[in-house]
Amino acid sequence: MAITKEQAIQAIRDAVHQVVGEEWAQEMTIDGDTTLSGGLELDSIEIAKVIEIMLKRFPAVDFENWFAQMAMERIVGMTVGDIAAFIAASSPELAA
């Protein structure tokens, strides 16, 4: 079954909650337009932890290759929606 962008956004929300703690994360609005560093104020270590959780949650998604093609500034500036769209676009492969 394909993963929708909204389902992927929820998975990212869950990962952020895991990394920064429920109480702090509950105060934040996390949607497709939220940036990892600016909107969520995640530092590089926290971003790496969120990505690590996504790697475990979606092992068939080729995050490594996707991120390897980006400059660090692009990764840090990406939105939750950017990541969710990539997961959703990769989801037909996950169903196979």
We report the CATH number of the domain holding residue 65 as 1.10.1200
Specify the number of domains making up the chain. 1
For residues 83 and 8, is the Cβ–Cβ distance under 8 A? yes
The whole-angstrom separation of Cα 63 and Cα 12 is 14
pLDDT tens, residue by residue, 29-75 = 889 999 887 778 888 888 889 989 998 999 889 988 998 898 878 87
- For residue 11, how many other CB atoms are within 10 A of its CB? 18
As a whole number, the mean pLDDT across the chain is 85
User: 54 lies in which domain range?
Assistant: 5-95
On the question of pLDDT at 93 being above 80, the answer is no
